[in-house]
Structure 1
Amino acid sequence: MSAELTLGAEEELHLIDLESWKLSARAPQLLSRLPREHYSAEIQRTTVETNTAVVDTLGGLRDELVRLRRGLVEVAAEDGIGIAAVGTAPTAAFADFELTATGRYGRMQEQYRLLVDEQLICGLQVHVGVSNRDLAVQIMQRIAPDLPVLLALSASSPYWNEQDTGYSSIRSIIWQRWPSAGSTGYLASAAEYGDLVDDLISTGVIADAKMAYFDVRPSSHAPTLELRVCDATPIVDDAILIAGLFRAAVRAAEVDIAACRPFAPVPAPLHRASVWRAARGGLSGELLDHLRHPRPHPAREVVRSLVHRLRPQLEELGDWDEVQELSETALARGNSADRQRAAFAERGRLSDVVELVVAETHGPASGPAPAVPALRRYRARAGDEAVGPGLQPRAAYRDLVDHFRKQPPEQLAERVAARDAWVDARGLTFGVEGEQQRFHVDLVPRLISPHEWAALAEGLGQRARAVEAFLQDVYGEQRLLADGVLDRDLVEGSPGWRAEARRLPAGVVRAPVMGFDLVRNEFGGWRVLEDNLRNPSGAAYALAVRELLDAVVPELPRPDGLVDPRTALAALAATLRAGSPDGAVALLSSGPGSSAWFEHRVLAEQAGLLLCGADDLEVVDGRVRHRGSGGAVGCLYLRLDVELVDLVDADGRPVGAQLFETAVAGGVRLANAPGNGVADDKAMYCHVPELIAYYLGEHPTLESVPTYRTSDEAEYRIVLDRVGELVTKPVDGHGGLGVLIGPDAAASAVAERRAQIVADPAGWVAQEVVMLSSHPTLDDGSLEPRHVDLRAFVYLTGTGPGEQTLAGLALTRMAPEGSLVVNSSRGGGAKDTWIVAPGAGASDG
C-alpha cells in the first residue's frame, strides 16, 4: 500500500460546570496542568482540544481517545468541571463565548466578527496517513460523496442557543458559513490545491493554511488526509466507527486511482445539498445515495450500503468485523442527536441533556450500559414516543412496557376479550354511513409529560383566543377585512360562512368549545394539524376509554400526578354557563341517528346538561323552554348534523329558525354558533398564524403544518406538480373523508385527485406529509408501533389572557397498520391519554 493508512484524531471538547451545567471558560487554567503535546487551546476558552499519538489500528485509536479524555477529566474534576464531546453544548447561549487571548484569535475575531462570536462548536477530526500529497488530493475528490454519511453518524448538535434547531447537526451548518469551508471543487493535484490555498490567503479572506476549513483536506502540518466534517461524538466507539469507515474509503479510492478507474467529481452544489441533508436529519431522515445522480433514501439504508461497499477494504485492514458491529450498534441506538432529544423529551430540561452527554463522554468507549432490556422484536422508528434509541423503553414508559411484556399470551388474550365485552356492554360505538360500529380501543396508554402539557396549554390557548377573536370580528366590525389582512372573498366565500351569523349579539363567545388535532414529528415537535370549531367530538370517548382501562387493566402502573379526565366535565359545564341567561344548559343533538350520539349522551349525563332534540324545545315569550318540564334554557350547546336554521321537528315545525331568532334577541346563548365553520375551514387553517399576529400581537408558540391553497394560482401549480408527494383534502371535509396521502396512493388515484383539483381549485387544500409519531399498540399479543395523533380541547370564556382552559382530557387516535389516517371511519382506533399534571417537571430551558 502506497498510502501509510495510519490513524490519528483531534477532539474538541466543551468544558461544563458540573453544578450549573453551563459552559466553563477555564481552559487556560486546565491547560496549564496538562502536557502540551496532546492538549491545546481552541478559539474559545470553553474548549480544549486533544491530539492523539499516531497509531496503526482502530483499537490503538480507541485507547488514545480514552486515555486523553481520562486525563482531561481527572484534571477538570479538581475544578468541578466535566467534559462533553458534542458539536454544541445544549445549554450554551451566544453570551457564553469567551475568546482565547492570543494575537491570532484576536485578529480572527476582529476580521470575522459574528462568525467567531458564535463559534461555540466542537468537531472531530480524523487523520489517515497518506504520504504522497498528490495522492491525498486525488483521494479527497473521490471520497467526497461518503462524507455526508460520516456526518450523519456523528451528528450531535441539535440544540443551539438553548433551543432545538430542528437539525441533527447545527454545528455543520454554522461551520459552513466560513468562507473557506465546504467543498474545494475539483482539483487535479497537490499543486492546484496549494494554489487555491495561496489565492485564498492572498485575498485576505483567510490568514494562513490552517484556515482552509474544507470538509476534507491534506493536513497543513502532517502527512495525512484530514476529515473535518464531523461533529464531536460523546461515545468513543462512534468516533472509532467513523475513523474505520474513513480509512477504508481512503484505501478504496487509492485502489481505484492505481487501477486508473474513472470518476465523476461531485458538483459543489450537490455536495452541499448532500451535507445539508445529513445535517438536517442525521440518522432519522434521509441521505443521498452514491450514484451519479443522487436520490434520497432512508439513512439506515445508505449507512449499510457504505459499510458493505467498503467491505473489501475493511477486510484488508482487519477492520470488517469491528466496523460492521459498530455500525449496527450505532444504527440501533441512534446518533447523539437522537439520544439528546430522547433525554429532553422526558422532562423538558436541557440540563438533563447536558448531564447525558457528559456521562457518555466520561463513560466507557462503548457507551453506558442499557438501563433496561431492549425490546428486540419491536419495529422502532425515529419518532416513536415510548421506545427510544437502542430499542430502549423511554424512562416514562419502562414500567408500562415491562408490565405488558411480562404478561403471558393467554392473560393478554383475556384482557382483550374483557375489553371487547366492556365496549359492547357500554355501547361504545361510532357512526359510519348511518351504522353504529364498535369503537376500537388499545390497552397501551399514551403518556403526555408535564412539560409537554404545559406547552400545549400555552400554544392551544393562544390559538383559541385568536380564532375566537376572528369569529367575533368577521361577524361583527370586520376590521381584519378592512385592514386587508385577508380578502373578503376568502372569508365570505368560505363554505362555512353563514351570513345570518352576523345578526347574533356582539361580544358573545361563539366557540366556547374548540377541538384541535395535533401530531408529533420524528423530532418530538408538536404541530397543529386541524382546527375544529363546529362539532369537535372525542371528549366522551376519552372519558370512556379511561373507564375501560380502569375496569379491564386496573393493575397498570399509573404515574404520580395523573389527571382524572372527569375534571374536564365541571370545566365544560362552567364554560357553557358563563355569560348565558338564567336557565339550564342543554345539549341540542340531531338524535340517535347522529354519528356522535354516544358522545352526546355521555356528555349530557356526566356534565349535567339537558339532552334535547328538536322535538324537546319550544320558544315561549322570547325564551327557550324544555317542552317536557317547562324549564327555561339559557344556553344551547349545538351538536347538530345540520345548520341550526334548517332544523325542524317531527311535525315540520321550524324549531331551528325560532331558536336562532331567540338567540339574536339575547334570549338564549348559542355555544358553537352557526357560522363557526368559516374558522375551521381547512383553507383558513394556513392563515391562523396571521390571526395570532393581528389579534394578539404575538408569534405562534405552536407551529402549523405547511399548507397550500389551490385557489391561489402560484400554489395551485405547485400542488398539481406534487399531488403524489402531498396530502390533499377537501376544504369542507371531515372525518378523514376525501383525504389522499400522495406517497401511499396509486398512480390512478393521484391522477384522479389532480383532475378534481383542476375542476374545482377552491375546493381543495394540500399539506406536506408529516410523518406522525408512533406508539406501541397491542396486536395479537405483541407490541407493534402504530401512528398516532391527539385531539385536545380548549374551553373559552373570552379572548383575553386567562380566559381559556385546556381541558384535562384528550383523545389519542391511532391509525391501522401501515396507515397515517387515524379516523375511526377509516379503520383507526383510540388510546387512553395519560396526562401528567405540570409541576414537578417544569422546564429549566
Structure 2
Amino acid sequence: MTLGAEEELHLIDLESWKLSARAPQLLAKLPPESYGAELQRTTVETNTEVVRSLDALRGELLRLRKGVVDVAEPVGLGVAAVGTAPRSVFADFELTSTGRFGRMQEQYRLLVDEQLICGLQIHVGVADREVAVQIAQRVERELPVLLALSTSSPYWNGSDTGYASIRSLIWQRWPSAGATGPLASAAAYDELLSDLIGTGVIADSKMAYFDIRPSSHAPTLELRVCDACPIVDDAILIAGVFRAAVRAAELDIEAGRPYLPLPAPIHRAAMWQAARSGLRGKLLDASDHPKPMVAAEAVQATLDRLRPQLEELGDWEEVSELAGAVLARGSSADRQRAIFAERGELDDVVEHVVRETHGPASGPPPAIPALTRYAVRAGDEAVGPGAQPRPAYQDLVAYWRQLGYSGIEQKQRERDRWIDEHGMTFTVHGEELRFPVDLMPRVISAYEWNELSAGLTQRARAIEAFLQDVYGERRAVRDGIVPENQVVGGTGWREEATRLPSGAVRAPIMGFDLIRNEFGGWRVLEDNVRTPSGFAFATATRHLMDAVLPDLPRPAGLIDPDLAVLSLRETLVAHADRTGGSDSSSEPVVALFSDGVGTPAWFEHRTLANTADLLLVGPDDLLADGGVVRHAGTRERIHVLYLRLDGELVDIGTKSGMRIGEAIMDVAAAGGVVLANAPGNGVADDKAMYCYVPELIGYYLDERPLIESVPTYRTSDAAERRGVLERVGELVTKPVDGYGGRGVLIGPAATAATVAARRAEIADHPENWIAQEVVTLSSLPTFSGQLLGPRHVDLRAFVFLTGTGEGQAQLAPLALTRVAPEGSLVVNSSQGGGAKDTWILSDVAQHADTTNPDGA
C-alpha cells in the first residue's frame, strides 16, 4: 500500500498568461530522476519518491512543484496544475523532439496536436501483478467520483466547453484509453496488450492508456483518469480514496467475494457524467444499476463505503477533512468559472490557477467568514461552495452582518412604508397588492451585461424583421422557415396589422425573460413583444433602495437605471418622423395609451408617463380627426401612441360608445400616427414561435444565436408530441398564449393526477401547448424574515429598437430580477413571486446618484 504520483504541469508565461514551450530549457536544470518531458514542450512531468503516508506524498508534491517554480520564475514562467490551461489554443502545441514522439505525431496526427492537457496519476503499491489486474477491474466503480473531485478543465481553445473536465474527453480519444473490459488474469492482460501492439495501432506498452493499469515500470497499480489538481490537498484526497479502494478490492479478492463488472456502456456513461458536471451536478452511484445522485452525496457515500479501509490505513480523519474542504470550496472547474464570471477575462483565470498551484497545500484561505446558516446549492450566484460569499457580494454580506437582526427588521419596515407611500402595487384578480421587494440586490458584471447586450439585441432585430415580413411579403413563410399555419390566423395574429405602413417598426420595446442555469450559462426563456412590463418597477426598486439603504455599499461602475427612462423616450420620439414630424418646432408628442386606473399595471403606466415625460391617455382622452390623433381636451396632436392595453386596440371604445380604437387604426394605417408595440405583435411572442427564433436569426441576420434558448418541443408536431406525452411528468408544459405564469405546469413538482390531466389536454388540443426541458434556475440570497436563504431567480431585460439594422437596437440599462417563492421555480408576481434591485455594472463609470433617494 505504498504511494506515488506523477503530476503534469503546464508552463505559463507570467506576462502573456499563455502556454510557454520552454520545457527543454527548464528540464536541463532539473534532476532527471524526478522530472521528465512530455509529448508537448509546454509541459513538465514530476515523479515523486515512493512513500507510505498521505502526509509524505503531500511533502513530495510540494517539493517537486517548488523545484519547477524555482527554475521557472527567474525566466518569467509559472506552472499550472490543471487539466487544460484556460488560454490554450491549438496553435500552442509544439512537439517534444524525440523519435518516439515524432512517430506518434506522424501516426495520430490531430490526436497528438490537441494534447495540450495535463493529468494526475496516482500509484498504489500492489506487489502481486495477478492481484493487481483483478483489483483494476473491481475499483472501476469508484472512478467517476475520483474524476469529479479532480475536474479542472472547463476551458479549451479559449472557450468554456460546458464540461468540468474536457481533458478526460480529449484523452478518451486515444485508441487504448478507457476500461479494459473483464480480464481473468495477468496473462490475459498481457495478451490483450500484446494483441494491441500487434495491431500496429499502438506502438508499445507505454501507450496502454487504460483508466487503471498495472504500471509498466513499477509494482504498482496506476490511476490515470484524473485532471491535474492546482490545490495539492485535492490530489492527496484522491490518493487516499484510491488507495482505500485498492485495499477494499484486495480484501474482497482474498475473501473470494464475487464481482459483477458494470457493462462497458454504463461505465462510459458514468465517466461522461462526471466529466460533464464535476461536483456541481449529479453523478451516477456505484450500484449495479446506477442512478443519478447529487455529487456531494456520491462523494460521501464513497467515503462511507471505504471507511473500514481508510481507518485501517490510518487515513479516515484526514480524508474526511479533505473531502469536506473540496466540497466546501468546489472543484477547480467551479472556481475557474467563478473567476471568469467577474470580468470575462481568461487571463484572470490563468492567474488564479497559477496562484493556486504555487500556493499552500490547502489552497488560499477564505476572504471572509462563511454564511454558516445558508443552505448552499449549486448554481447560487452570490454564495459559493462552503457558504463563502462570492467577491461581488462580500461587502453586501458584511453590511447585513453588521446591521444585525433588529437592523434588518427595521429596514424592512422602512421598505414597506416606502412602497405604501409611493403606491408601488399591482393587481391580481381585482385585489391590489404591495409589490414585494427583497433588500439583497443582484449584481451583474460588466462582462455579463455586454454579453447579454450582444445576444438580446441580435434576437430583437430578428424578431422585428420577422414581424415586418410576416405582415408584409411573408418571405419566411414562402422559404419554409416557418409554416404558414403557425402564423397567419394563428395565436396572436391580427388581420388589421397588415394595414400598417411597410417598414414601420412594430415592436420598438421588447422584453426578454432570461435565466442562468446551474453552470452559469444564460438562456432566453421567453420573448415578450406585445406589452412587456416591469420597466417602471425596476426603476422604482432602485429609488426604494436608495431611500431605505443609502449606506449599502455600492460597487464601482453601477449604472443608474434612470438612464433607461431617457432611452425609452428617445426611442419613442425617434419613430415620430414617420408621421411627418411635429406640427411646430416643438418636440413630437408621445402618449402612453392605457386602459386606466383599473388595469393591473396601473402603477407602471403612471410611473412611466411621469418619468419619461409621456402623455398618459385613456380611450376618452383621444380623438381621431383629420387623419391625425389628438388629445380630446387640448386638441394637441399625438405623433406616437405607446400601446399598453390589456385588450386589442380595435375593440377599444369610449364611454359614449365611439369606436375610438378602429378610428386610431385607420389613422395609423394612413401613416398619421405611429403605434409603438402595434397590434398583431403577439404572433412573435406566441410560445410556439419561440422555437423558431434561432432559425429567424440565421434567416434574417445570417448570424448564429449568441444566447441559447431552452430546449423546447412543439406539441403540434406529431413526432415531438409523442415524446412529450410520454414525458409530461419530466417537462414544463405551457399554453402557447399564456402569460404571467398562468397555465404553467412543472412536471416533476406535480401530482400524478395533474400530470394525467395535462397529458389529456395536450392530446386533445396539441396546437395550444409547448413543452420545455426543466432548467434549474440559478438562485440568490433572499430574506425570509431576517435570515438569508436561496431563492430561484430570473431576469427581465428590455431592448429598444429604431430599426432592424446594425446599431438600431440597444439593451436598456436596467433590468428587473424576479424572485420565486420558497421551493418554487415560478417567479411571476401574480404567482407569489417578488423582485430584487438589479445592480448592473459598466466598464464606463455611470454611477447611480444616491444623493436624491426620493427620486421616484
Using the size of structure 1 for normalisation, the TM-score is 0.98
Q: Deviations over 1:331-368 (max 9, x none)?
A: 11101000101111111111111111111111111111
Could you say which residue in structure 1 is the equivalent of 2:827? 822
CA separation in 2, counterparts of 1:141 and 1:840? Answer: 59
Of stretches 570-579 and 160-169 in structure 1, the one that deviates more from structure 2 is: 570-579
3-state SS of 1:49 partner: strand
CA separation in 2, counterparts of 1:676 and 1:69? Answer: 62
1:732 to 719, 734, 737: 737
Q: Deviations over 1:749-801 (max 9, x none)?
A: 21111111111111111111111111111221121111111000000000001
1:517 to 513, 518, 524: 513
8 A Cα contact 2:556 2:845, kept in partner: no
Deviation at 1:434, TM superposition (A): 2.1
Alignment pair present for 1:230 and 2:235: no
Could you say which residue in structure 2 is the equivalent of 1:712? 717
Alignment pair present for 1:301 and 2:302: no
CA separation in 2, counterparts of 1:493 and 1:631? Answer: 37
CA separation in 1, counterparts of 2:763 and 2:247? Answer: 55
8 A Cα contact 2:340 2:346, kept in partner: yes
CA separation in 2, counterparts of 1:606 and 1:426? Answer: 14
Could you say which residue in structure 2 is the equivalent of 1:618? 623
Could you say which residue in structure 1 is the equivalent of 2:852? none
CA separation in 2, counterparts of 1:352 and 1:328? Answer: 26
8 A Cα contact 1:147 1:229, kept in partner: yes
2:653 to 642, 648, 655: 648
Deviation at 1:493, TM superposition (A): 4.3
Could you say which residue in structure 2 is the equivalent of 1:333? 329
CA separation in 1, counterparts of 2:205 and 2:742? Answer: 62
CA separation in 1, counterparts of 2:521 and 2:761? Answer: 33
The aligned amino acid for 1:254 is: E
Could you say which residue in structure 2 is the equivalent of 1:559? 555
8 A Cα contact 2:575 2:640, kept in partner: no
Alignment pair present for 1:444 and 2:424: no
Could you say which residue in structure 1 is the equivalent of 2:146? 150
3-state SS of 1:807 partner: strand
Deviation at 1:840, TM superposition (A): 8.1
Deviation at 1:46, TM superposition (A): 0.2
Deviation at 1:18, TM superposition (A): 0.5
CA separation in 1, counterparts of 2:201 and 2:212? Answer: 19
Alignment pair present for 1:749 and 2:745: no
Alignment pair present for 1:217 and 2:213: yes
Deviation at 1:145, TM superposition (A): 1.1
Alignment pair present for 1:782 and 2:787: yes
Could you say which residue in structure 1 is the equivalent of 2:837? 832
8 A Cα contact 1:7 1:126, kept in partner: yes
CA separation in 1, counterparts of 2:351 and 2:370? Answer: 22
8 A Cα contact 1:727 1:742, kept in partner: yes
Q: How does 1:408-807 map to 2 (within 5 A)?
A: 408-580=404-576, 581=579, 582=582, 583-807=588-812
Could you say which residue in structure 1 is the equivalent of 2:854? none
8 A Cα contact 1:334 1:389, kept in partner: yes
Of stretches 369-378 and 128-137 in structure 1, the one that deviates more from structure 2 is: 369-378
Unaligned runs of 5+ in 2: 583-587, 847-856
Alignment pair present for 1:282 and 2:278: yes
CA separation in 2, counterparts of 1:434 and 1:789? Answer: 26
Could you say which residue in structure 2 is the equivalent of 1:73? 69
Deviation at 1:575, TM superposition (A): 0.8
CA separation in 1, counterparts of 2:72 and 2:81? Answer: 14
Could you say which residue in structure 2 is the equivalent of 1:346? 342
CA separation in 2, counterparts of 1:576 and 1:739? Answer: 33
Alignment pair present for 1:91 and 2:87: yes
The aligned amino acid for 1:92 is: S
Alignment pair present for 1:103 and 2:99: yes
3-state SS of 2:411 partner: helix
3-state SS of 2:248 partner: helix
Deviation at 1:740, TM superposition (A): 1.0
Deviation at 1:392, TM superposition (A): 1.9
Alignment pair present for 1:808 and 2:813: yes
Could you say which residue in structure 1 is the equivalent of 2:585? none
Could you say which residue in structure 2 is the equivalent of 1:127? 123
1:269 to 265, 270, 279: 265
CA separation in 2, counterparts of 1:614 and 1:184? Answer: 77
Deviation at 1:44, TM superposition (A): 0.2
The aligned amino acid for 2:128 is: N
Q: Deviations over 1:607-657 (max 9, x none)?
A: 011111111111111111110111111111011111111111222221111
8 A Cα contact 2:732 2:773, kept in partner: yes
Q: How does 1:156-171 map to 2 (within 5 A)?
A: 156-171=152-167
Could you say which residue in structure 2 is the equivalent of 1:59? 55
Could you say which residue in structure 1 is the equivalent of 2:362? 366
Deviation at 1:838, TM superposition (A): 2.9
Of stretches 82-91 and 184-193 in structure 1, the one that deviates more from structure 2 is: 184-193
CA separation in 2, counterparts of 1:104 and 1:723? Answer: 56
3-state SS of 1:734 partner: coil
8 A Cα contact 1:453 1:838, kept in partner: no
8 A Cα contact 1:468 1:509, kept in partner: yes
Could you say which residue in structure 1 is the equivalent of 2:133? 137
CA separation in 2, counterparts of 1:102 and 1:617? Answer: 85
Deviation at 1:839, TM superposition (A): 4.1
The aligned amino acid for 1:756 is: E
Q: Deviations over 1:482-523 (max 9, x none)?
A: 111111111224311112211110000000000000111112
8 A Cα contact 1:454 1:838, kept in partner: no
Q: Deviations over 1:571-612 (max 9, x none)?
A: 111111113223411111111221111100100111011111
The aligned amino acid for 1:694 is: Y
Of stretches 424-433 and 691-700 in structure 1, the one that deviates more from structure 2 is: 424-433
Deviation at 1:390, TM superposition (A): 3.0
Q: Deviations over 1:789-823 (max 9, x none)?
A: 10000000000010111111110001111111110
The aligned amino acid for 1:108 is: M
3-state SS of 1:578 partner: helix
1:25 to 15, 21, 32: 21
CA separation in 1, counterparts of 2:338 and 2:401? Answer: 22
Could you say which residue in structure 1 is the equivalent of 2:201? 205
3-state SS of 1:682 partner: coil
8 A Cα contact 1:787 1:820, kept in partner: yes
Deviation at 1:378, TM superposition (A): 1.4
Deviation at 1:291, TM superposition (A): 1.1
CA separation in 2, counterparts of 1:653 and 1:312? Answer: 86
Could you say which residue in structure 2 is the equivalent of 1:191? 187
8 A Cα contact 1:465 1:799, kept in partner: yes
Deviation at 1:469, TM superposition (A): 0.4
3-state SS of 1:715 partner: helix
Q: Deviations over 1:662-692 (max 9, x none)?
A: 1001111100001101111111111111011
8 A Cα contact 2:558 2:845, kept in partner: no
RMSD over equivalenced CA pairs, Å: 1.1
3-state SS of 2:349 partner: helix
CA separation in 2, counterparts of 1:573 and 1:681? Answer: 27
8 A Cα contact 1:339 1:389, kept in partner: no
8 A Cα contact 1:494 1:681, kept in partner: no
